[in-house]
Chains A and B, each alone.
Chain A
């Protein structure tokens, strides 16, 4: 698969007067053409910051891109000027945000918000843009689009606002769509509708999608590949099946176990991950998961583990992968594991 986005060794920090938060600490990944890649992790793990950096939407200062490359179409996005970036945003790469309530402008009609990028990037006239906006609203499943196009965001429900956001993002047929927790604020029935919509659009247009979420259930529905982030690093990445049925990192094990299955035995305690994420003001020298890891060894505190490959697509950063490490059995039940 041809990569459309290549991020290598990205480091981003946030500075205030006396502290520096190292939010992204060396992130490498690629997104292939026509691929859906999910980024999962807890709040503060850096998944949103990573893609705000890709889109160059983080305010600098306080943020600073310390190191690394974001290659898109042969160009390093971190080096582009704001004016050059504006030609990419919306046209080449578009983004959908978590909260459709705050990411739409309440004082501008929905139609005009969708038209904006069409007029700017595709040089359509206002009239053509409006017609296209109506078409887009129809594609994302909004009933009576020609009336809706004249309305303001407050006249839309949460699910419809998210549909309108998707219509905006799709306006210029971007090659890459970044969806940052697009369904988190929605009810499950609406969430299922939006996921179906994104899947259908993806099959039709063949664009790539980055799906940022903390919900592994949503990941299982939509992703081809998964990257698990923790404390500013990708600790494990692989295909959907590799992550769910053959996970290697203790954090991934913990995440998978702490969600109750629908057939979960109620007499058993849920396996939880003790403690909480380390502070990124003074990130630990070793593996950031050490303090919460049931299998932590001495080396884990001292040195960050190398990324090892267990298949061409499956990468893990954990000392347990080292040939000298003790054998630790995955707690993910064998019958749930994927046998090929």
Chain B
């Protein structure tokens, strides 16, 4: 059996806001990602999915827990190993307008990593950049232009080319398509899938668009207020969601089909996501949960494998619970 390329164990990331207030953005999540797969991470804004991604790539130090990439704890890497990790894992950002330096040419943006890591391998910088531009569906004449000359979709392609320049094994894509128009989203998703096949990439795909996540991911984790609520194969998660939060999310996701939209069962999640500064006791979802029981306020549900490869943290599936 192949080893997972990434193991996240009990990862926590807390931000100390002032002397008395700690924001527990990520509060103990664990999952594994196998080489070559796409792992989707979904949840509402403020659930900690982006913080999780940023901690996994070591943009933030972890407060607690471990991130093992190819067996090594990435927060403990130093020197040569650290430099290698920074090549092996790359990130694509949400906002194609804010994530490219407006004062650099596309050539310099894409080649910045090549320069730092001295990766030219005998080929000229220009050659590599032109190849990358063609790989992502732009052409080499674009290399001398500046980001403002491109549309959102094209900029996202530049961001992808910049990530690919490092020949990474693992790419964290943080909402890579949510700033794009629908017709362009499909282009970028198709490109990402094509690159994955050609280069054997592994993706951590962070998003809030459930239908796109289902389409691109092999497995999906659902986060709520810094915790993982449910994790399963993407088909199993969508056909048989166990956690009431996942059920609610799926039934509120807009579907572009009026008849289905009218006929499907609507589970409405009431209220809003509570502040992560002061999360509810016990199960964090209980304040909005249609099935909340008294135990939910007292005991935090354990993270358990309710079905083969289908993990959930909910008292409805606890063995001690008669239901």
Residues of A within 8 A of B (CB): 42-43, 157-160, 187-193, 196, 214-221, 240-241, 244-245, 254-262, 264, 266, 269-274, 276, 336, 338
User: What is the CA–CA distance of A312 and B212 in the complex, to the nearest angstrom?
Assistant: 35
**From DSSP, what is the main secondary structure of chain A's interface residues?**
helix
Determine the residue in chain B with the shortest Cβ distance to A256: B256
Contact between chains at B211 and A214 (CB < 8 Å): no
User: Are A188 and B253 interface neighbours, CB within 8 A?
Assistant: yes
* Bound CA–CA A271/B185 (angstroms): 11
How far, in whole Å, are A273 and B193 apart by their CA atoms in the complex? 16
CB < 8 Å: which of B183, B212, B215, B268 contacts A273? Answer: B183
Cα of A220 to Cα of B256 in the assembled complex, Å = 6
Given contacts A189-B44, A272-B190, contact A217 B255 (CB under 8 A): yes
Of the candidates B151, B238, B257, B261, which one forms a contact with A276 in the assembled complex, judged by CB atoms under 8 Å apart? B151
Q: Is B126 an interface residue (CB 8 A)?
A: no
Partner pick for A220 among B182, B187, B257, CB 8 A cutoff: B257
Hey, which chain A residues are within 8 Å of B255, CB to CB? 217, 220, 261-262
B81 interface residue, CB < 8 Å from A? no
* A-facing residues in B165-224 (Cβ within 8 Å): 181-187, 189-190, 193, 208, 210-212, 214-216
The residues of A that contact B44 with a CB separation of less than 8 Å are 187-190
Rounded to whole angstroms, the CA-CA distance of A221 and B193 in the bound complex is 30
Report yes or no: A264 in contact with B211, Cβ–Cβ below 8 A: yes
| Number of interface residues, chain B, beta carbon within 8 A | 44
Interfacial chain B residues near A264, Cβ < 8 Å: 211, 214-215
B258 at the A interface (CB under 8 A): yes
Q: Say whether chain B's binding surface is mostly helix, strand, loop, or mixed.
A: helix
CB within 8 A of B211: which of A191, A196, A261? A261
**8 smallest beta-carbon distances between A and B, as pairs:** A217-B254, A272-B186, A258-B186, A192-B252, A260-B215, A216-B256, A273-B183, A42-B181
Interface presence of B153 (CB below 8 A): yes
Nearest B residue (CB) for A188:
B252
Q: Which of B44, B181, B268 has the most CB of A within 10 A?
A: B181
Residues in B whose Cβ lies below 8 Å from that of A273: 183-184, 186-187
Q: Which of A188, A218, A266, A274 has the most CB of B within 10 A?
A: A188
The distance in angstroms between the C-alpha atoms of A216 and B270, with both chains bound, is 24
Chain B residues near A336 (CB-CB < 8 A): 257
How far, in Å, is A333 (CB) from chain B's closest CB? 11
| Chain A residues positioned under 8 Å from B258 (CB to CB) | 220, 240-241, 244-245
Q: Are B272 and A157 in contact (CB under 8 A)?
A: yes
> Any chain A CB within 8 A of the CB of B92?
no
21 CB < 8 A contacts A-B? A42-B182, A42-B184, A159-B272, A188-B44, A192-B252, A193-B268, A215-B182, A217-B261, A220-B254, A220-B255, A220-B258, A220-B260, A255-B183, A257-B186, A261-B211, A261-B255, A262-B210, A262-B250, A272-B187, A276-B153, A338-B259
Determine the chain A residues whose CB is within 8 A of the CB of B266 once the complex forms. 192
Q: Are B214 and A217 in contact (CB under 8 A)?
A: no
Q: Inside 8 A of B261's CB, which chain A residues have their CB?
A: 217, 220-221
User: Which residues from A are CB-within-8-Å of B211?
Assistant: 217, 259-262, 264
Given contacts A43-B181, A272-B187, contact A217 B252 (CB under 8 A): no
Is B280 engaged at the interface, CB distance under 8 Å to the other chain? no
Which residue of chain B has its CB nearest to the CB of A160?
Answer: B272
Any A CB within 8 A of the CB of B249: yes
A259 and B45: CB pair below 8 A? no
Could you tell me the distance in whole angstroms from the C-beta of B77 to the nearest C-beta in chain A?
34
Tell me if B34 is interfacial: C-beta within 8 Å of chain A: no
Q: Contacts A188-B44, A217-B253 given: A271-B186 contact, CB under 8 Å?
A: yes
Q: Please measure, in the bound complex, the distance between the C-alpha atom of A217 and the C-alpha atom of B211, giving whole angstroms.
A: 10
Residue of B nearest to A44 (CB): B181
CB neighbours of B268 from chain A (8 A): 192-193, 196
- Contact of B208 with A258 in the complex, beta carbons under 8 Å: no
Q: Determine the chain A residues whose CB is within 8 A of the CB of B153 once the complex forms.
A: 276
| B254 in contact with A269 (CB, 8 Å) | no
Known: A189-B249, A189-B269. A261 touches B181 (CB 8 A): no
Decide if B5 is an interface residue (CB 8 Å cutoff): no
Additional 5 contacts, C-beta under 8 A, given A42-B183, A244-B258, A262-B211: A188-B44, A188-B252, A262-B210, A273-B183, A273-B184
